[in-house]
Amino acid sequence: MATETNGAETGGLEFHPMDQFIVSPLFSDDASVAWYTITNATFWMALAVLATFAMLVLGSARRSVVPGRMQSVAELAYGFIHKMVEDICGKEGLKFFPYIMTLFMFIVMANFLGLIPTAFTPTAHFSVTVVLALAVFITVTVVGFVKNGAAFLSLFWVSSAPLALRPVLAIIELISYFVRPVSHSIRLAGNVMAGHAVIKVFAGFAAIAVISPVSVLAITAMYGLEVLVAFIQAYVFTILTCVYLKDALHPAH
Amino acid sequence: MATVTTSDGLADATGIATHAAETPGMPQLNFDHWGNQIFWLILALIATYLILSRVALPRIGAVLAERQGTITNDIAAAEDLKVKAQEAEAAYDKALIDARAEAQQIVAQAKADMQADLDAEMSKADAEIAAQVAESEKAIAEIRAGAMDNVQAVAKDTAEALVAALGGTADATTVDAAVDARMKG
């Protein structure tokens, strides 16, 4: 409400940069949202799933030894994540390849679909990224203890440091371990949200005729940046997942 | 701003402090919507996971493995063919050398045969020539003998004629004896 009032005072400018993140029901005028309500979030998540399906399943439908365009894209995505998991986690990490691929495909598709004007971006929501990050955190912790037992705790005991420093380092390591899901989730949602909000702010300035060309240029530039961010943040989220998983598989420093 | 207005209404209706409505800032922090998003997110993730792990990833993995296999096989086949080509080249070279040697042998053989034939013909020709020479010499000797007889006859006739011309009476037997004596001397 505050922005609206301010907008009115500064000559008809209206900024609603955060309205694009509002969750609203698709098939009802009633604004109440229960956990099962089909909302715009549902719709765009479903689109992300469909896009993943189209890219990886329909793309590889022909199974040709010499790939066509669509199959090349599917194979590229497969090879990209497969190599990342193998390089970082080693051979035994490949068990988790479908899981990591799921995270990557969902995030990258949600990010890119969110770049369509008037779209809703699920990955700009902490509710979504927190679940994703917590899933990774819980998986890593469980896998770490199941595979290594108590030896997993050696992750916090830096054996290469002088003995006197080790308890201090253990506390720091422990804190950093529990901060991981926080930074993991806020990084993704924060980046995506900030870019989308900035584009909306620039769009608000376009109402002033003199500034509008600059505004349009700025939106274009920001959009280009956002295309990069959409991919890079998905990549960063995935690679961090691999790094955390590596800790669970090989906890020794 | 319809949504914000409704959330105002909601807040009023439920009697909760209108803090959320006063800060229109982040819809992300409207925890009323978290349940909905988390529910649908989990469904979406499960769907994606099933699609990927059941269909997409095994299929793409199989295609990639198949391609790798095909490439490996093709490289092995190419190596085989290369070795075969080298063998064929060696065999060809060997055949060429053999053929050359054989050709030289044939040439030498032919030369030797021709030489032998030539030698045989030459000696035959030589023999024939020698025979002809001997025959000719014999003929010449006969001719020469014939000529001596003729000369003897002519000499006798001439001697008789001379004796007659000189007024003697030519006794044939005497003349013959005289001529024979002269011829021998």
Q: Report the number of distinct structural domains present in chain A.
A: 1
Residue contact A1–B21, C-beta within 8 A: yes
Residue A7 lies in a domain: no
In Å, how far is B71's CA from the nearest CA of chain A? 10
Distance from CA of B81 to the nearest CA of A (A): 23
Burial tier of A252 (Cβ tally within 10 Å: 0-12, 13-18, 19+): exposed
Q: For A91-127, how does the pLDDT look when each residue is reduced to its tens digit (9 = 90+)?
A: 999 999 999 999 999 999 999 999 999 899 999 999 9
Tell which wins on pLDDT, A234 or B178.
A234
SS3 letters across chain B: CHHHHHHHHHHHHHCCCCHHHHCCCCHHHCHHHHHHHHHHHHHHHHHHHHHHHHHHHHHHHHHHHHHHHHHHHHHHHHHHHHHHHHHHHHHHHHHHHHHHHHHHHHHHHHHHHHHHHHHHHHHHHHHHHHHHHHHHHHHHHHHHHHHHHHHHHHHHHHHHHHHHHCCCCCCHHHHHHHHHHHHHC
Nearest C-alpha in A relative to B20: A1
The alpha carbon of residue B85 is apart from the nearest alpha carbon of chain A, in Å, by: 28
Flag whether pLDDT at B13 surpasses 80.
Answer: no
| B73 Cβ under 8 Å from any chain A Cβ | no
Average pLDDT, chain A: 89
Computed over every residue of chain B, the mean pLDDT equals 84
Chain B closest-CA separation from residue A35 CA (Å): 4
Query: Per the CB < 8 Å rule, is B52 touching A49?
Result: no
- Residue to substitute from A125, A126, A237, interface B, most B β-carbons within 10 A: A125
The answer to whether residue A128 sits within a structural domain is: yes
ipTM metric: 0.88
Does some domain include residue A191?
yes
Per-residue model confidence as pLDDT tens digits over A70-101: 999 999 999 999 999 999 999 999 999 999 99
A1 lies in some domain = no
Q: What is the pLDDT of residues B115-167, one digit of tens each?
A: 999 999 999 999 999 999 999 999 999 998 888 888 888 888 888 888 888 87
| Range(s) of the domain holding residue A122 | 39-61+68-249
Let me know if residue A118 belongs to a domain: yes
* B13 has a chain A CB within 8 A of its CB: no
User: Exposed e or buried b for every residue in B6-36, given b needs 16+ CB within 10 A?
Assistant: bbbebbeeeeeeeebbeebeebbebeebbeb
Return the residue in B33, B55, B67, B71 with the most chain A beta carbons within 10 A, the one to mutate for interface testing.
B33
Structural domain spans, chain B: 2-25+36-184
Question: What length is written for chain B?
Answer: 185
Q: Please identify among residues 30-69 of chain B the ones whose CB lies closer than 8 Å to any CB of chain A.
A: 30, 32-45, 47-49, 51-53, 55-57, 59-64, 66-67
A36-45: per-residue pLDDT in tens?
Answer: 889 999 999 9
